[in-house]
Structure 1
Amino acid sequence: MAAEITIDITKTYPGRAPIRTRIAYALDASTVLILFGPSGSGKTTILRSVAGLEWPEQGRIQFISRTWLDVAAGIRVPPQERQIGYMAQDYALFPHYTVAGNIAYGLHELSPAERAKRVDDMIELFQLRGCEQAKPRELSGGQQQRVALARAVAPRPQLLLLDEPLSALDAPTRLRLRNELRGLLKQLALPSLIVTHDWEEALTLGDRIAVIVDGNVLQTGLPQEVFSRPMNADVARVVGVETVVQGRIIKAVEGLATVEVGPIALTAVGTAEDGPDVFVCIRAEDVTVERVGSGETSARNHLAGTVSAIHSLGAMAKVSIDCGFELTAVITRSALADLRLAVGAPVKAAFKAGSVHLIPRR
């Protein structure tokens, strides 16, 4: 049975636009809902309001059959009574506690034997065996993340809240741990809300996404659909990736991968470790539109297609091309005139292998 969450709040800060958020979603046992948007958009405030760490001036928050906040009715359920697991952006581990001590921190209601068993279960689940007596400063960034996550889920919450869970890590570690975190979340089978401003993390981790700008939810849906079909210019500017389609790596040799997208084969920079199932992401500015019959450039990918739509962007134009999948390009108005483009016109789309970004889809 899906767990319904309703967030309908207004929170104000001096000198800033009010955060007015309305989200209503049914979260299945392992659904990950991403709160996505630029820094300062209000994502963390929303998450902290759900956790009971911020108190909006107006509105209500409900989860399943419980009302956690109803300002008009005077209901304010404190954090410790909400049955949530919360992981802060900086992990907030207690520096003088051991790994085992950090994980056990929220388990005071259990008997000593039950507490020890629960901690041991978390040590096993999060692959922390051998680190039980280590202090946070003795751990790698990835290990600290796992300890913080173990502490959040040890009390067996009904809802898990993660604030930028990968932002404290260096880039190589962040890349490696994205898929590991996704696997853990599915294994835990806990409905989760995750705050991130990173579109790769949103696509990797999320089952659903809510795009937030200035505290307002502009669009919700499947991450792939929201990224590839933003409903307006504001969402398009935030997500920043115009083409996101599903693909499958069929071959990878010397750092170049051949990826099938429906009937089309693309060449991308990638390895077999990225797949086989991937999201294929291409930014519109990396796509060159050419006349049919023109000489080919050095780009690895040249796709024949038909113009399906043209939208004016002032000095630029967005061109949608049906080439076996919908591909978006952005070109100048003068190039649009020189190429004599119109809906239905045959064209070639070219882009380099390095412009095809692959994100594992697991």
Structure 2
Amino acid sequence: MRLSARIEQSAPIPLAADLDCESGELLALVGPSGSGKSTILRCLAGLHRPAGGHVQCGEETWFDATRGIDLPPQRRRVGFVFQHYALFPHLTALANVMLALTDLPADQRAARARDWLARANLEGFDHRRPGELSGGQQQRVALARALAREPRVLLLDEPFSAVDRVTRRKLLNQLIDLRRSLAIPIILVTHDLEEASLLADQMTVLHRGRTLQTATPEEMLARPASALVARLTDQTNLFVGKVTHQSRASDTTVIDWLGHSLVATHHADFAPGETVCWVIPEAGVVLVREHQSERENTLSAKVNERLAWRGHATVTASVGKQGEASLTFAIGASVAGRRCIVPGAIVLLQLQKSAIRLLPADPAIGAPAALDRVDSWYPRPLPGEQAAPRPLAAPQPGRSSE
């Protein structure tokens, strides 16, 4: 069973979004606040009617603006987990789940609801009300209630945003286990790129209601479709350069960046003299030793910052005569300690040819001079929008030559 949708409207939030999710897949919708992610879920569930487009689930049409079809929510068989769970505070966990089982005979509802609570690891919590449950437990009750409907589609709207990071990690692992048994399309809205990378088969990046790219998390990070996609997926190593040489025979495109000639794989769409954006994932920046300084795309950098977490170190180092730009890479924390990678240290970095991706120039990024961290040009909200929290990028351990 496949869910496909085209959602169009000009107000109150402009939308021109395309979605496609196969049975058993999880599709993550990512993008800043105001990009229409939650509104899209409401359109899929039948809680909001867009001006145009269609929603198709398997062989059934749920919405088609041209044909005047708009099935009500109760006929769409959608399981919906809201950001703040939407549990009834005066009802027990068992009673909340039983609300989704009205199609069963009354004498069968309690047993079925207990089964779903057990699948959500909530045995023994039947008679507790939401106020007596932790945030993570409430989230699991909401998920059990959504799945008790035996939905054809499961929609998750920032389901882990109200819990602490440790609880979130546990819930993520439980959802990973649970979804193996769910042969239905799952749509997840999240601001957290680590969360999306862990859970999603496909990611759709949205900006101001428009679909920019849909790809696997790995493809999205390695080959963003545009500089804007790279920005919205929090890729810090995004810069501007100028093409100086093209050679199809040797599979190379050479760009000038801060006086360095960088060799990338051949990008036929760009002519010599053309200004381009270029991006390289953290894993494509490799720490090398002094005797390897003759490798192509090797340059010297000064360490500005080293952050360690769970055995990995994320390092930011400035490049250029005046430190005009910063590169970010990741290595093992033990390697960082052994190599004395501390602020002020001078390191040699190789930018892997195959990891450099060229993209059309983006006027929002500016001239090919100084480009530093994402913070300075992360998209501003539209009037009336809330500023989006900075997304958390998934750790991408790089490699050293050790």
TM-score by length of 1: 0.70
Tell me what 2:128 maps to.
134
**CA drift at 1:112:** 2.3
Which of 14, 20, 23 does residue 16 from structure 2 map onto? 20
Superposition pairs of residues 1-362 of structure 1, within 5 angstroms: 3-14=1-12, 16=13, 18-23=14-19, 25-29=20-24, 31-241=25-235, 243=281, 269-270=309-310, 285-287=326-328, 298-299=341-342, 305=350, 308=353, 309=356, 314-316=367-369, 357=395
2:346, 2:59 → 1: CA distance? Answer: 52
1:101, 1:9 → 2: CA distance? Answer: 35
SS in 2 for 1:175: helix
Answer yes or no: is the 8 Å Cα contact 2:223–2:357 preserved in 1: no
1:298, 1:84 → 2: CA distance? Answer: 51
Q: What do the CA deviations read for 1:323-360 (whole angstroms, capped 9, x no partner)? A: xxxxxx989xxxxxxxxxxxxxxxxxxxxxxx99369x
SS in 2 for 1:287: strand
SS in 2 for 1:357: coil
Tell me what 2:270 maps to.
none
1:81, 1:136 → 2: CA distance? Answer: 28
**CA drift at 1:79:** 0.5
Q: What do the CA deviations read for 1:253-275 (whole angstroms, capped 9, x no partner)? A: xxxxxxxxxxxxxx96316xx9x
Higher alpha-carbon deviation: 76-85 or 184-193: 184-193
Q: What do the CA deviations read for 1:291-321 (whole angstroms, capped 9, x no partner)? A: xxxxx76259977635525868625578xxx
Answer yes or no: is the 8 Å Cα contact 1:227–1:244 preserved in 2: no
**CA drift at 1:109:** 1.4
Q: What do the CA deviations read for 1:57-101 (whole angstroms, capped 9, x no partner)? A: 111111111100011211110010011101111100000010000
**CA drift at 1:165:** 0.7
Change (3 A) 1:316 1:100: farther
SS in 2 for 1:67: strand
SS in 2 for 1:187: coil
SS in 1 for 2:2: strand
SS in 1 for 2:174: helix
Tell me what 1:249 maps to.
none
SS in 2 for 1:95: coil
Change (3 A) 1:37 1:69: same
Q: Greater strand share, 1 or 2?
A: 1
**CA drift at 1:211:** 0.5
Answer yes or no: is the 8 Å Cα contact 2:2–2:58 preserved in 1: yes
1:143, 1:97 → 2: CA distance? Answer: 15
SS in 2 for 1:44: helix
**CA drift at 1:179:** 2.2
Change (3 A) 1:232 1:123: same
**CA drift at 1:128:** 0.8
Q: Structure 1 vs Structure 2: percent identity of aligned residues?
A: 39
SS in 1 for 2:11: coil
SS in 1 for 2:180: helix
Answer yes or no: is the 8 Å Cα contact 2:26–2:185 preserved in 1: yes
1:228, 1:310 → 2: CA distance? Answer: 8
Change (3 A) 1:49 1:113: same
Answer yes or no: is the 8 Å Cα contact 1:8–1:61 preserved in 2: yes
2:195, 2:103 → 1: CA distance? Answer: 35
SS in 1 for 2:225: coil
SS in 2 for 1:148: helix
Letter in 2 for 1:177: L
1:244, 1:223 → 2: CA distance? Answer: 14
SS in 1 for 2:151: coil
TM-score by length of 2: 0.64
For structure 2, list consecutive stretches of 5 or more residues without a partner in the other structure: 238-280, 285-306, 318-325, 330-338, 375-392, 398-402
Q: Say what the alpha-carbon RMSD is for the aligned residues.
A: 3.2
Answer yes or no: is the 8 Å Cα contact 2:3–2:185 preserved in 1: no
Letter in 1 for 2:156: L
Change (3 A) 1:269 1:139: same
Change (3 A) 1:112 1:202: same
**CA drift at 1:224:** 1.6
Count of aligned positions: 286
1:7, 1:130 → 2: CA distance? Answer: 40
Answer yes or no: is the 8 Å Cα contact 2:201–2:216 preserved in 1: yes
